């Protein structure tokens, strides 16, 4: 079940970025997103004909037509401390805290998938800070501010016996994490029964933290997106969650590609003036789409299913 037609609106120019926009690229997909110096900034996941994964910076005035830098911003680690763990860099999430942009992403290697934390202030230089999760964990996401004096993180540890679930944890310094607790599982739905995980960094609203999350169905491994609302003062408490998905793969560019039937987001940008949320998503792990929604509409949708637990 989904109610995307009433909430999420695909941009008519979709897909807004394809591999044709980057020389040598085979695919460009899941991207971090943020405001930077008055522009929309995306950090693109790209891999080339040699299956080498890199991240590229793209900027735009209107959030639709992007200029992509020719030189990669984040590449495979060469530092001996991180090289054994960071051989494939994709799926970044960008969280601005004060004047620093923290970038977390799943770093792939023969040693598993770990959460890598790095930072930048100018998107010209990037510094890896540390590995912040044990393998295997593919979805680390930071909140944009401290809650009760602690940094807060969402992630999705790998699911073997149980389906993948969303967990929450806390840190005094962004490196040492603890007080891990289960935040959310798939509930009574079937569209996300195989696994769920956090997408873009949560968005602070007057009603709570809006969390966009992905879900994967068992039937055909379809990736779709939905949202939930978390308590402002205690984000381990869920206030409500949308019924079903808010956007699922239905367009040809979402259904056919490197990985079929995928709508997956790691970045969203809120226009505080208009209340419009721009959700940037990887389509079939091949190109990038844009869908927009009213922030208030998403909040109202979450309140359809108020959480009682």
**In which region does residue 163 sit, left (phi positive, over 0), alpha (psi from -120 to 50) or beta (all else)?**
beta
Distances (CA, A) of 115 to 130, 159, 221: 9, 16, 23
Domains in the chain, ordered, with CATH?
Answer: 8-306 (2.115.10.20)
Res. 307: pLDDT tops 80: no
Rounded mean pLDDT, 175-190? 93
CA separation for the pair 288, 221 (Å, rounded): 19
Q: What is the separation, in whole angstroms, between the first and last Cα of the chain? A: 23
CA separation for the pair 294, 271 (Å, rounded): 10
Is residue 22 within 8 Å of residue 56, measured between CB atoms? yes
Rounded mean pLDDT, 43-53? 90
Residue range 69-126, pLDDT digits in tens:
999 999 999 999 999 999 999 999 999 999 999 999 999 999 999 999 999 999 999 9
Q: For the chain, what is the mean pLDDT?
A: 94
Pair type for strands 67-68 and 88-89:
unpaired
Is residue 239 within 8 Å of residue 231, measured between CB atoms? yes
pLDDT for 4 equals: 52
Band the pLDDT of 308: cuts 50, 70, 90: low
Which of 116-125, 150-159, 222-231, 232-241 is the least confident region? 150-159
CA separation for the pair 217, 224 (Å, rounded): 8
CA separation for the pair 132, 75 (Å, rounded): 19
Res. 299: pLDDT tops 60: yes
């Amino acid at each position: 079940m989904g109610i995307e037609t009433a909430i999420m609106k695909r941009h008519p120019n979709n897909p807004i970025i394809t591999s044709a926009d980057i020389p040598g690229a085979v695919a460009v997909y899941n991207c971090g997103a943020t405001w930077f110096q008055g522009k929309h900034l995306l950090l693109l996941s790209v891999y080339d004909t040699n299956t080498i994964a890199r991240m590229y910076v793209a900027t735009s005035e209107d959030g639709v037509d992007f200029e992509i830098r020719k030189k990669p911003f984040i590449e495979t680690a060469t530092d001996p401390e991180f090289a054994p763990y960071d051989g494939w860099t994709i799926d970044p999430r960008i969280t601005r805290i004060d004047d620093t942009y923290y970038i977390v992403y799943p770093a792939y290697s023969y040693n598993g998938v770990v959460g890598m934390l790095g930072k930048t202030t100018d998107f010209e230089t990037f510094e890896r800070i540390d590995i912040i999760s044990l393998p295997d964990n593919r979805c680390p996401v930071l909140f944009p501010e401290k809650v009760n004096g602690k940094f807060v993180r969402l992630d999705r540890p790998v699911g073997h016996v149980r389906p993948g679930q969303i967990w929450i944890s806390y840190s005094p310094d962004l490196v040492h994490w603890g007080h891990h607790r289960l935040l959310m599982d798939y509930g009574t739905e079937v569209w996300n029964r195989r696994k769920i995980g956090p997408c873009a960094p949560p968005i602070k609203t007057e009603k709570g933290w809006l969390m966009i999350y992905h879900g994967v169905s068992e039937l055909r491994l379809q990736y779709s997106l939905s949202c939930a609302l978390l308590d402002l003062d205690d984000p381990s408490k869920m206030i409500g969650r949308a019924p079903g998905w808010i956007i699922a793969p239905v367009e040809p560019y979402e259904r056919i590609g490197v990985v079929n039937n995928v709508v997956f987001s790691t970045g969203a940008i809120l226009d505080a003036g208009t209340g419009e949320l721009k959700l940037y998503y990887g389509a079939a792990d091949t190109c990038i789409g844009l869908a927009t929604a009213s922030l208030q509409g998403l909040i109202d949708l979450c309140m359809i299913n108020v959480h009682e637990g």
